[in-house]
A and B are shown apart, each in its own frame.
Chain A
Amino acid sequence: MSMDDMADMEELHWKLSILGAIDVGIVVVNKNYQIQIWNEFMENHSGLLPSSVREQSLFKVCPEIDADWLQRKARVAWELGSRSFITWQQRPYVFRFGNYRPVTGRSEWMYQNITLLPLASPRGDIEHLCLIVYDVTEQAISSTERAN
């Protein structure tokens, strides 16, 4: 292995570690909404191992998701190649995860913002979709409190 290859390998290794450790959920699905990537955040909050959800339908793994609704939201990403967004104001959560701080967090569930990111193949066709899940419980609770 050349020095360059070693450096590339090391960089890839770092990237994978970061992807695992980062405190946001990352799910990649194919055109049929079969799960391809399920990072540690998703694993920790759902209790489902990446190996058990791989190639499974997202809507079977997470029956709480309204499939028609999510697919409509994803239209911009699939058809236009632009990222699309779901905010907690529309639906408090897409994935039913418990609050990170179950005791003093003042909410049973994790409020989520979601970014739908189209992933292009090397040919430029959009064949996969990445769902990035942000925990915005704090923000949602304080904003709801302000409004009341």
Chain B
Amino acid sequence: MTLRVTLCDDSGMARKQLFRALPADWDAQVSMAEHGEQALERIRSGAAEVLFLDLNMPVLDGYETLERIAAEQLDTFVIVVSGDIQPAAQQRVKRLGAMAFVKKPMSAGEVTNLLSTFGLYTPAGGQLHQVEESTTLTASQHKRDTYQEIANVAMGRAGDFLARILDVFIDLPIPNVNELAPSELHMALATIDQDSRVSAVSQGFAGGGMHGEALVIFTDSSMEGMAKLLNYDATNAPVQQELEALMDIAALLTSACLKGLTEQLHVNFSPGQPILLGQHQQLRELLQASTLQEQAGEEDTRPPLLAIEIGYSIKSHDIHFDLLLLFPPMAIPALDRQLAHILEASHEYG
């Protein structure tokens, strides 16, 4: 009998990748959902005997969706597919009733094995159908969606590594993608108050002829907590401890995130020496002092750069820090070509 399956992810690219990873000879009818609320509707209408569920989503995230499924005693078999791969996240979704946890991007072999293990798939059982077309995106929305999903997976890798080193749970946001003029860089930082005092480290990276920069920004109020969490030698002056914490966390985040980008884009990004951009300065001042500015009073007509903001937080310690991935205009065409390659490749091998 044809199985009814729903793929729930806010990213169109992720849904597409997931669909392509499903076995083509699976006797299943596939529907799409963009957030938890839609997934619940699919379950209620009988379109989700099996639900592939993302965790970080707007409207209703994966955890909340699992809670609602349990509360309403809905009948569905949930497989979580997530960029957030922290051990605590895996334990939490299992406790909430998910049957399996798979890290993004999911490979075709992995899905087939998993489905076979649970007796949901027999080879040559039928044909895979997609019930409805998901919403069509404009070219620019599509690009944004792709950047967001790539950043989502990369940030998940970085979050996992950091969580294991610090032994805390790290809250991962939905990455915030912007194209903006260099002088408007401060506007890329939606999760930090413009007037707050911050410290920042910049690390350049290069690969495949593309250059980019990763900024790690800490608010002063988070810095102290971070130094404590890292448990540094208390005989050092607090100023020295904070500097160490800032440099160390920046290095960890940037390395892990670049590794995530390297894995996905098949471009070997290697980082340069980190530079301390400034400490205890107003966010806007710090960024303006660090970037090439236009003449006063003139409009910034330079081509926009791509800025991806990832606002990490450790709620248990009231710590917040931002990773800002920046690609200059020159890098964007190469980045887009590489992304197009990957999407095609996942089609061929998927």
* B255 partner residues in chain A, CB cutoff 8 A: 76, 80, 82-84
User: Which of A10-18, A20-28, A33-41, A85-93 makes up part of the contact surface?
Assistant: A85-93
* A80 partner residues in chain B, CB cutoff 8 A: 161, 255-256, 259
Residues of B within 8 Å of A, CB-based: how many?
Answer: 20
Judged by a CB distance under 8 angstroms, whether A73 is at the interface is yes
Q: Which of A81, A113, A134 contacts B259 (CB 8 A)?
A: A81
* A81 partner residues in chain B, CB cutoff 8 A: 259
| A-contacting residues, B264-323, CB 8 Å | 270-271, 273-276
A-B contact count (CB 8 A): 43
Judged by a CB distance under 8 angstroms, whether A115 is at the interface is yes
Judged by a CB distance under 8 angstroms, whether B69 is at the interface is no
Contact pattern, A 59-77, Cβ under 8 Å of B = 1, otherwise 0: 0000000000100110110
Q: Is the CB of B258 within 8 A of A87?
A: no
Determine the distance from Cα of A53 to Cα of B222 in the docked complex, in whole angstroms. 43
Knowing A73-B248, A75-B165, A76-B251, say if A89 contacts B259 (CB, 8 Å).
no
Judged by a CB distance under 8 angstroms, whether B243 is at the interface is yes
Determine the distance from Cα of A69 to Cα of B161 in the docked complex, in whole angstroms. 19
The chain B residue with its CB closest to the CB of A77 is: B255
Judged by a CB distance under 8 angstroms, whether B108 is at the interface is no
Q: Is the CB of A76 within 8 A of B252?
A: yes
The chain A residue with its CB closest to the CB of B201 is: A87
Add 5 more A-B contacts to A84-B251, A87-B247, A113-B273 (CB < 8 A). A75-B165, A76-B252, A79-B161, A89-B276, A115-B273
A residues apposed to B, CB below 8 Å:
69, 72-73, 75-76, 79-85, 87, 89-90, 113, 115, 134
